[in-house]
């Protein structure tokens, strides 16, 4: 395809564009022991308006960064959407870590099934239907303490490594250009871009952190932590509190096609 044919010409641009992030960006404790169901407790943001506003700003900044990568712009719109839909959540988390956005949460007072049944009967409402064996209830699924712990653990890992602006840019490039997504046509082109982002990260680390031979591996651990965090959890945590039942696909399409 046209993208693969021009891959060599445009892949070299990735270095300079990823480094442009440096100019574009403006200047948890362990899970307590006890009941094993503790990680399933429901939690909510202490100040949802503040945290959601910060996350929205980071998402806009992240998509602007993506749009400013010429190699990304060379892809057909369908390919761009596939990539963004698959990686918006890890890119957002990298942006939150880069901007050092801290999460303050509180336990959510979720009523038990018995409380819901008694309340419904008292108000003359029909009894809540029981889920079929092996099938969870549909609808909103508030993040659990375990979900939040995973996010906080990821942020703490990034901050402990004191990741630089360029390192964040190369990590974002590695996440963005994922050639393993089903439905992609320009897989060789995208694979080359991901490989170049990793090579650029490795070269940067060897140049700047000569005494830390394990740093490149530590940065790749950051990427592995991202894979354990569900995108639905991110949407529920940062966007549902302010805009309700959000369809991230529709929102990403609108933001990607708009002039951010």
How far apart CA 159 and CA 40 sit, in angstroms, is: 26
Whether 5 is covered by a domain: the verdict is no
Residue 220: predicted pLDDT: 94
pLDDT in tens, 115-174: 556 655 555 555 444 444 333 334 455 678 888 899 999 999 999 999 999 999 999 999
Q: Mean per-residue pLDDT for 63-82?
A: 91
Residue 215: predicted pLDDT: 95
Whether 15 is covered by a domain: the verdict is no
Task: Tokens for 8, please give them.
Answer: 């060599």
How far apart CA 80 and CA 84 sit, in angstroms, is: 6
* CB atoms inside a 10 Å sphere around CB 25: 15
Whether 17 is covered by a domain: the verdict is no
Total domain count, the chain: 1
pLDDT in tens, 173-214: 999 999 999 999 999 999 999 999 999 999 999 999 988 989
Whether 72 is covered by a domain: the verdict is yes
Tokens 């009967």 found at:
121
Rg of the chain in Å (alpha carbons): 21
Cβ atoms of 256 and 75 closer than 8 Å: no
3-state helix, strand, coil in the chain (%, to 5): 65, 5, 35
Whether 23 is covered by a domain: the verdict is no
How far apart CA 108 and CA 145 sit, in angstroms, is: 10
Cβ atoms of 216 and 202 closer than 8 Å: yes
Domain region containing 184: 41-107+141-258
Task: Tokens for 93, please give them.
Answer: 């988390």
Whether 117 is covered by a domain: the verdict is no
- Residue 151: burial class (beta carbons within 10 Å; 0-12, 13-18, 19+): buried
Q: Could you give the 3-state DSSP secondary structure of residue 144? A: strand
Per-chain mean pLDDT for the chain: 78
Residue 145: predicted pLDDT: 83
Residue 121: predicted pLDDT: 57
> Is 86's pLDDT higher than 50?
yes
Beta strand residue intervals within the chain, DSSP E: 43-45, 105-107
Task: Tokens for 120, please give them.
Answer: 């419904």
Whether 82 is covered by a domain: the verdict is yes
Q: Could you give the 3-state DSSP secondary structure of residue 142? A: coil
Whether 181 is covered by a domain: the verdict is yes
Higher pLDDT, 233 or 6: 233
Which residues is 45 bridged to in the sheet? Answer: 105
CATH number at residue 73: 1.10.565.10
Select from 44, 85, 257 the least CA-distant residue to 176: 85
φ, ψ for residue 46 (rounded to 5)? -65, -40
Residue 36: predicted pLDDT: 47
């Amino acid at each position: 395809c046209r993208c693969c044919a021009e891959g060599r010409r445009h892949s070299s641009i990735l270095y300079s564009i990823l480094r442009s992030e440096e100019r574009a960006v403006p200047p948890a404790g362990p899970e307590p022991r006890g009941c094993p169901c503790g990680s399933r407790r429901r939690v909510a943001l202490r100040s949802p308006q503040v945290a959601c506003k910060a996350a929205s700003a980071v998402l806009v900044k992240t998509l602007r960064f993506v749009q400013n990568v010429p190699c990304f712009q060379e892809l057909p719109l369908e390919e761009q959407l596939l990539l963004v839909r698959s990686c918006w959540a890890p890119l957002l988390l990298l942006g939150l870590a880069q901007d050092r956005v801290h999460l303050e949460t509180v336990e959510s007072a979720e009523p038990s099934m018995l409380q819901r049944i008694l309340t419904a009967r008292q108000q003359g409402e029909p009894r809540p239907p029981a889920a079929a064996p092996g099938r969870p209830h549909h609808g909103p699924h508030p993040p659990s303490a375990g979900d939040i712990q995973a996010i906080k653990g990821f942020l703490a890992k990034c901050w402990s490594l004191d990741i630089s602006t360029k390192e964040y840019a190369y990590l974002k490039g590695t996440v963005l250009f994922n050639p393993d997504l089903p439905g992609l046509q320009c897989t060789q082109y995208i694979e080359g871009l991901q490989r170049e982002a990793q090579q650029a990260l490795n070269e940067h680390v060897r140049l700047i952190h000569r005494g830390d031979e394990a740093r490149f591996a530590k940065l790749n651990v950051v990427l592995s932590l991202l894979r354990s965090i569900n995108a639905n959890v991110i949407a529920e945590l940062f966007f549902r509190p302010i805009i309700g039942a959000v369809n991230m696909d529709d929102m990403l399409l609108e933001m990607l096609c708009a002039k951010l």
